[in-house]
Amino acid sequence: MLILIVAITFFSSCTKEKKDIVVYGMAPIYLEEVDTAQIRREDPRAFSELGILVTQGNYLFINERYQGIHVIDNTDPSNPVNKHFWRIPGNQRFVIKGDLLYADNSINLLTIDVSDYRHIKVIDTDEDYFIIENDVLIRPPLDYSGPFECFDSSKGILLGWAQKELKNPKCNAY
């Protein structure tokens, strides 16, 4: 009887499957659809992860990475007022010129009429200028090193990166 029990234990451990590797790392956050109707003015919001700053006249425009642009009235720099948030999912880069805002959504170049800061409107889209063909080049912020879930452009636009439990991650940042 004892020999039978030992034999069963021995064989079940031989047929045990290889363990999955589970680690903490970074994973992409995807926006599934490109829909210019989502681009609109919203109420001002808190700063979370700021990118580039552009000023025009008395206004400051600051990128919120992958989310959009904060609009600040800086007429009095001792007392700046956060006025608007322009929601542009996927946004990383922009410039403003008069009443026109040129901004990306990580894939396309958008021309946005901002003659009224409260009612912004996309008036032109130029496609595929910012999409990186080689997914291998997309990785988490440069100050991160460690495993990450590889970016897959078939899943949507990159919105950002978040800490996540990863199973068998195939990519690594150095």
Q: Which residue shows structure tokens 């700046």?
A: 80
User: At closest approach, how far in Å is the CB of 155 from other proteins?
Assistant: 19
Q: Measuring CA to CA, which residue among 86, 84, 81, 82 is closest to residue 101? A: 86
- Can you tell me which of 57, 154, 165, 170 binds other proteins, judged by CB under 8 A? 57
CB of 135 to other proteins, least distance (A): 11
Show the tokens assigned to 96: 């403003």
Using an 8 Å Cβ cutoff, are 85 and 70 in contact?
A: yes
Alpha-carbon gap, residue 93 to 113, rounded angstroms: 16
Q: Does 118 bind other proteins (CB under 8 A)?
A: no
Which residue type occupies 112?
Answer: I
145 or 168: CB nearest other proteins: 145
Which chain residues interact with other proteins by CB under 8 A? 44-58, 60, 62, 72, 74, 77-80, 82, 92-98, 100, 102-104, 109, 111, 113, 123-124, 126, 129-132, 137, 142, 174
